[in-house]
A and B are shown apart, each in its own frame.
Chain A
Amino acid sequence: MECVFGLVGNGFAIVVADTSAVHSILVHKSNEDKIMVLDSHKLVAASGESGDRVQFTEYIQKNVALYQFRNGIPLTTAAAANFTRGELATALRKNPYSVNILLAGYDKETGPSLYYIDYIASLHKVDKGAFGYGSYFSLSLMDRHYHSGMSVEEAVDLVDKCIMEIRSRLVVAPPNFVIKIVDKDGAREYAWRESVKDASTA
């Protein structure tokens, strides 16, 4: 029931993930941030087994940081994506990770990019991508409304359309979503879309 999707716009890439942490029929929390800031200009939106998700993305994050210290310059988005895919591929026939990843990044020379990396280590550079049951809805909507070079407003509008569609059409739709964006100024949180706040004591 986890929904992750994203798209590339004019000088930026945007990724959206649901924020529910679910175990069988219990929702542990509905404000789990599944989009990790990999480094200053990269975002990793991940869905799948929560243990694997955290373990794998943190491992990638620390290795990306190590590369930067060793070499004095950060990895490009393409290099980070290929490294991630390589790690998934190596583990695949021994100890596979059940994690699907959308890696969004901005490089000064090549601009924004989005990579689709699934749990069996496929790697595709895409303009728009999605994982999970929500992808049935978000991909169709993005196919209909996406065009290259969208502005931030247009992209967020499309994202909101997708979220509305998921909320209304998916039987166990996650209530809350987080939106993060990466552009020349870096990777950062853009907004949350909450329809249910965690119950808290007065």
Chain B
Amino acid sequence: MARYDRAITVFSPDGHLFQVEYALEAVRKGNAAVGVRGTDTIVLGVEKKSTAKLQDTRSVRKIVNLDDHIALACAGLKADARVLINRARIECQSHRLTVEDPVTVEYITRYIAGLQQKYTQSGGVRPFGLSTLIVGFDPYTAVPSLYQTDPSGTFSAWKANATGRNSNSMREFLEKNYKETSGQETIKLAIRALLEVVESGGKNIEIAVMTKEHGLRQLDEAEIDAIVAEIEAEKAAAEAAKKGPPKET
């Protein structure tokens, strides 16, 4: 099997592209990221691994704008992400220049996925080691969308999804608890999913909310702490309710 690691253009005898699978491993080691689509709000959340004390946290933005109406979060190799995000930003402007319309979420997802696929079928290059969660509102229809791409270059649309570390647990949680939400409820759902795998607290989570009117808004630590406190309170109340009212003796 080791012989089939080298050039990614080579299939293994049992039909695997090992470099792509190894890239997916890199993604699985990356920080947790979650995306939830509501009716009028889309939320992206990313785990913030403990930051070095001397580091300026503002220079490490994990959820970025691709255009006024599109945002991206990713899990995996951050340096690869920088390159991909730069190309996507250029494509967003290039599309506006040539057809005088902003991109749709599907278009830019297809572009990013296409780029990731190209690097699985070229000589001397390795695949991008990241999966992306792309959210946005389509320009004229205002339909909210959430898409995911991965190192193989596949993409699909989701109501809610997670990638990176412990993504399976988060996805299980979302499958159990997803329902159509809007506004604050969507934000809460995303944070609850992240809290399944991340230590609670505003310091460890980065949340960005996209709405049609206000574009992308990063929530600050205080806001996140407040919502986390709300969620913990709800959880405690639910626990207490489960235990049942005190029995009359």
Residues of B39-67 at the interface with A, using a CB-CB cut-off of 8 Å, are 61, 65-67
Query: Among the listed stretches A43-51, A65-73, A108-116, A138-146, which one makes contact with chain B, having 4 or more residues with CB under 8 Å of it?
Result: A65-73
Query: Among the listed stretches B87-95, B182-190, B205-213, B228-236, which one makes contact with chain A, having 4 or more residues with CB under 8 Å of it?
Result: B87-95
A62 touches B93 (CB 8 A): yes
Residues of A60-84 at the interface with B, using a CB-CB cut-off of 8 Å, are 62-63, 65-66, 69-70, 72
Q: CA A72 – CA B92 in complex, angstroms?
A: 16
Q: CA A63 – CA B93 in complex, angstroms?
A: 7
Nearest CB of A to B232, in Å: 33
Residue of B nearest to A61 (CB): B97
Cβ of A154 under 8 Å from chain B: no
Residue of A nearest to B61 (CB): A72
Write out the residue numbers on chain B whose beta carbons fall within 8 Å of the beta carbon of A63.
93
Nearest CB of B to A195, in Å: 31
Whether A58 contacts B67 in the complex (CB less than 8 A), given A66-B90, A70-B89, comes out as no
B96 touches A62 (CB 8 A): yes
Write out the residue numbers on chain A whose beta carbons fall within 8 Å of the beta carbon of B86.
70
* Size of interface on A: residues with Cβ below 8 Å to B: 9
Interchain residue pairs with CB less than 8 A apart (21): A58-B97, A59-B97, A62-B93, A62-B94, A62-B96, A62-B97, A63-B93, A65-B93, A65-B96, A66-B89, A66-B90, A66-B93, A69-B65, A69-B66, A69-B67, A69-B89, A69-B92, A69-B93, A70-B86, A70-B89, A72-B61
Residue of B nearest to A66 (CB): B93
Write out the residue numbers on chain B whose beta carbons fall within 8 Å of the beta carbon of A59.
97
Residue of A nearest to B89 (CB): A69
Residue of B nearest to A58 (CB): B97
**Per-residue A-contact encoding for B79-108, CB less than 8 Å = 1, 0 else:** 000000010011011101100000000000
Write out the residue numbers on chain A whose beta carbons fall within 8 Å of the beta carbon of B89.
66, 69-70
Centre residue among A58, A65, A72 by max chain B CB count within 10 A: A65
Interchain pairs with CB closer than 8 A, number = 21
Residues of B within 8 A of A (CB): 61, 65-67, 86, 89-90, 92-94, 96-97
Nearest CB of B to A141, in Å: 37
Write out the residue numbers on chain B whose beta carbons fall within 8 Å of the beta carbon of A58.
97
Q: CA A66 – CA B90 in complex, angstroms?
A: 7
Q: CA A72 – CA B216 in complex, angstroms?
A: 13
Write out the residue numbers on chain B whose beta carbons fall within 8 Å of the beta carbon of A62.
93-94, 96-97
Write out the residue numbers on chain B whose beta carbons fall within 8 Å of the beta carbon of A69.
65-67, 89, 92-93
Residue of A nearest to B97 (CB): A62
Q: CA A72 – CA B63 in complex, angstroms?
A: 12
Residues of A176-198 at the interface with B, using a CB-CB cut-off of 8 Å, are none
Residue of A nearest to B100 (CB): A58
Supply 16 further A-B pairs (C-beta < 8 A) apart from A62-B94, A63-B93.
A58-B97, A59-B97, A62-B93, A62-B96, A62-B97, A65-B93, A65-B96, A66-B93, A69-B66, A69-B67, A69-B89, A69-B92, A69-B93, A70-B86, A70-B89, A72-B61
Q: CA A58 – CA B93 in complex, angstroms?
A: 10
**Per-residue B-contact encoding for A21-40, CB less than 8 Å = 1, 0 else:** 00000000000000000000
Centre residue among A58, A62, A63 by max chain B CB count within 10 A: A62
Nearest CB of A to B114, in Å: 20
Which 3 A-B pairs rank lowest in CB-CB distance, beginning with the nearest? A62-B93, A62-B97, A66-B93
